[in-house]
Every structure is written in C-alpha cells, then in structure tokens.
A and B are shown apart, each in its own frame.
Chain A
C-alpha cells in the first residue's frame, strides 16, 4: 500500500521581493497527522512560504503541493482543505463577532456549531461586540475559532501568538490541542511558523529552521532533543587545546568549558574525559536553545 500524499510538499521554493530574496531553495515535507514547526528569526521567510501555500504569492521557482494539489492551479480545492490564521489578523471593523463568523462560515461546506459554542464559552467572547473594539488577543481568538470550526485537514498558523499575553498564549495552544486535534488523527495536520518556540515545544513533532530564506536544519523534535547536548567540563588547570571542531558552539570561561554538540556528544565526552576533568556533566537542550545554537553557529 502506497503511503498517502504528504499534506505539504515544498520543493526548491524560491521567491524574491524585487531584488531581495525572501526564500531560496526551500524544501520541506509535512506528513499528514503531524504537527510541523517552521522556526526562524523575523524576516527569515516564514510568512512568504506560507503565502505560497495559499496562492497569495506565486512561487518564482520550485513547486508547492498541498495534499498533492498545486495551489496555483487548484486554488479552491486546496483552500477547502486548509484553514489559515494570519500573522496580522484583520477583520471588517463594522462587523460584530457573530457576523464575522457567519460571514466566514458562508465560505465553508461544513461548520461545527458545537465546537464554536464551546470555544466561545471558553474564551468568554461577546458575540455582539464589534471587531474594531476587540483587543489583539481577542481578534486572534476569533480567527482561531474561524479556523477550527470548519474542521479542515490542515491548519496553517502564521506567528499566531506573537504580541499576546502569556495567558492568552497558553489558551491558544491548549485550544489547538483540544479542539482541533479532536478529529481522526491522520486528518489533523498543523503547520506553525513562530519564533516563540518554548510554548510550541510540546506540540511540534518535527521542525525546520529557516534563516535568511534557506533551510538550516530539519529534524524530528525528539531526535533533536536527544542529539543536541550541552556538555560542561571543569578542569584542574586551564583546559588544553582540544580539537572541538565537531561541536556547534564552544565557550571557555577560565577553567570551565561549555560545548554544544549535535549528535557528536558522546565522542566529545570521551575526548574530554580523557583529559581528566574535575567535573563533567551533560544535559539536553530545549528546542529554543537548539534554535539559538544552530543560528549562532
């Protein structure tokens, strides 16, 4: 039995705004049922990539496939299969919350009213309030409701929690886990782009780090946490000159040494142990530390 089509398959995507290249030769694959993270600094090209999925931008080179379909050719089918929460949520200011959701529901063949009501109660939103007077967090919540209720196969979130207070941020993630992931596991795929990695750490199965439009690292989360290690050593005298080129990052402070390694942790531990350190310890990195270490190396 052949494996099902990947939810998202991007191959050698390139896009340039004028002369500045936003995305260069980007490739990534998201399998259905997974939660995929796209990490990058501000201006790394995450939003551009997501816009290409929605046919808001046309790839200049390379190809994009969503559930096997090309967004430029099968625009409506692709959009029917996914829902999108943009990074800057804007609604028509004269509409009330209720009206906005009704308006967005008119585009969709199905809309789960039960989940909508549940989320309304959970967020404590007033359906009659005009969207112009909503706070940023509330606008994001409305956008999230509008994205979850159609029960689509793919949820695309573009920097959803930036600028929100910690409580709203937690609730957002809890809502995605609780309300969106409720359906059949293979039919709920998430693509999240963010630079607030700590919060999404538990959610993300697999991630790609983008820097200046290029892919720097693609890895499974568990593997990444396992293979990235921070090794600390303290020596009796100043540490000898060691061949530490296999480390991602090296820091020396007096008699102490701190290394960050990706996959080469054991070898480096052996190397250090052979020089009899006073103290040698190791710990794994969180995704955010992995992000920082990868981009700063």
Chain B
C-alpha cells in the first residue's frame, strides 16, 4: 500500500503513519494478512528517518494492529471489527464536520442542509442500483 506524509499537518510523522495504517485497515484498503512495506523501503520511499518508521511500526504492533513475523515482514492482524468500526466512525465524523462548516459559510440553514443530505443519499442509491442492474445484464 502507498503511504504519504504531510509535513503541514502538525502531527508527528510516526503518528501520521499509524493513523494511515489504521485508516487503511478500517476502510478495507489493507486486508488482514496482507503485508505492509518493510521499514527500509518505506523509509527510503518517503524520505523519512528510518527510526521514525520503526517507531510507527512498533506503535502499531503495541496497539495490536499489525504483527511482525521474523524473516518475513509485517502483516495486518485479523479481526478488528470493533476497532475498525470505531475508526470508521471517526473518519466519517471528520468529513461531516467539514461539510457542516461549509454549509455554515455558504449560509445554508440547518433544515435545508439535512434535506439536501437525504436527497443526495437517494440520488446515490438510485445510481448504485442502476449500476448493479447494468452489471447483471
């Protein structure tokens, strides 16, 4: 999987990596049992201090997100449903907060905003169903 570092976010780098791995595990971008990039190539690729990457990986291991098999590398651990759900909710909350702030700026009142959300969910539902129908054909 591809990881990124944002120096403008104000978060320590190792925490950014930890969060990205957790988010990837939660959203399904990383599946259980899949291998993470090894420390050295990841550090070289991101041009980040190796100790930082090592720290991120050891943090993930202590959180129980990944496991290190000696001689073979780091792999995502199985069964994380509770954590996954928690992470998923957290991610969504961030997005929703942003949308609320935008609505406030654009001076869209609360009821109109909630109505818009319902409308958009219906539109996307219709689209998804028509996509599935097309696939069946």
Chain A residues in contact with chain B, CB under 8 A?
33-35, 170, 173-174, 177-178, 181-182, 185, 199, 201-205, 222, 225-226, 229, 279, 283-287
A205 contacts B7, C-beta separation under 8 Å: no
Give the nearest-CB partner of B54 in chain A: A185
B9 contacts A284, C-beta separation under 8 Å: yes
The 8 Å CB contact of B40, one of A182, A222, A226, A284, is A182
The 8 Å CB contact of B49, one of A170, A174, A204, A286, is A204
A287 contacts B7, C-beta separation under 8 Å: yes
**Residue of A34, A170, A177, A285 with most chain B CB atoms under a 10 A cut-off:** A177
Tell me the smallest distance from the CB of A55 to a CB of chain B, in Å.
29
Tell me the smallest distance from the CB of A291 to a CB of chain B, in Å.
13
B50 contacts A181, C-beta separation under 8 Å: yes
The 8 Å CB contact of A226, one of B12, B47, B49, B105, is B12
Tell me the smallest distance from the CB of B64 to a CB of chain A, in Å.
23
Range of interface residues on B (Cβ < 8 Å): 20 to 34
A35 contacts B13, C-beta separation under 8 Å: no
**Residue of B12, B48, B50, B105 with most chain A CB atoms under a 10 A cut-off:** B50
Knowing A222-B12, A222-B13, A225-B10 are in contact, say whether A205-B40 is a contact too (CB < 8 A): no
Q: Which residues of B contact A286 (CB under 8 A)?
A: 7-8
The 8 Å CB contact of A174, one of B7, B44, B51, is B44
A202 contacts B10, C-beta separation under 8 Å: no
The 8 Å CB contact of A229, one of B10, B11, B13, B51, is B10
**Residue of A34, A178, A185, A285 with most chain B CB atoms under a 10 A cut-off:** A178
B24 adjacent to chain A (CB < 8 Å): no
Knowing A181-B50, A202-B48 are in contact, say whether A226-B43 is a contact too (CB < 8 A): no
Which 9 interchain pairs have the tightest Cβ spacing? Answer: A284-B10, A202-B48, A222-B12, A181-B50, A174-B44, A286-B7, A178-B44, A202-B47, A177-B43
B68 adjacent to chain A (CB < 8 Å): no
Knowing A177-B44, A283-B10, A284-B10 are in contact, say whether A202-B54 is a contact too (CB < 8 A): no
A279 contacts B105, C-beta separation under 8 Å: yes
Tell me the smallest distance from the CB of B100 to a CB of chain A, in Å.
15
Q: Which residues of B contact A222 (CB under 8 A)?
A: 12-13
A-B contact pairs, 6 of them (CB 8 A): A33-B51, A34-B51, A35-B51, A178-B43, A178-B44, A287-B7
Give the nearest-CB partner of A281 in chain B: B101
Cα-based distance from A185 to B46 in the complex (angstroms):
19
B51 contacts A205, C-beta separation under 8 Å: yes
B20 adjacent to chain A (CB < 8 Å): no
Cα-based distance from A226 to B51 in the complex (angstroms):
19
Q: Which residues of B contact A283 (CB under 8 A)?
A: 8, 10
Give the nearest-CB partner of B43 in chain A: A177
Knowing A181-B43, A182-B40 are in contact, say whether A205-B49 is a contact too (CB < 8 A): yes
Known: A202-B49, A225-B12. 18 other contacts (CB 8 A): A35-B49, A170-B47, A173-B47, A174-B45, A178-B40, A178-B43, A178-B44, A181-B50, A181-B51, A202-B5, A202-B7, A202-B47, A203-B47, A204-B49, A205-B49, A222-B12, A225-B11, A229-B10
Knowing A174-B44, A182-B40 are in contact, say whether A284-B49 is a contact too (CB < 8 A): no
Q: Which residues of B contact A174 (CB under 8 A)?
A: 44-45, 47
B49 contacts A225, C-beta separation under 8 Å: no
Give the nearest-CB partner of B45 in chain A: A174
Q: Which residues of A contact B48 (CB under 8 A)?
A: 177, 202-203
Give the nearest-CB partner of B41 in chain A: A178
Q: Which residues of A contact B11 (CB under 8 A)?
A: 225-226
Fill in one digit per residue for B18-30: 1 if any A CB lies within 8 Å of its CB, else 0.
0000000000000
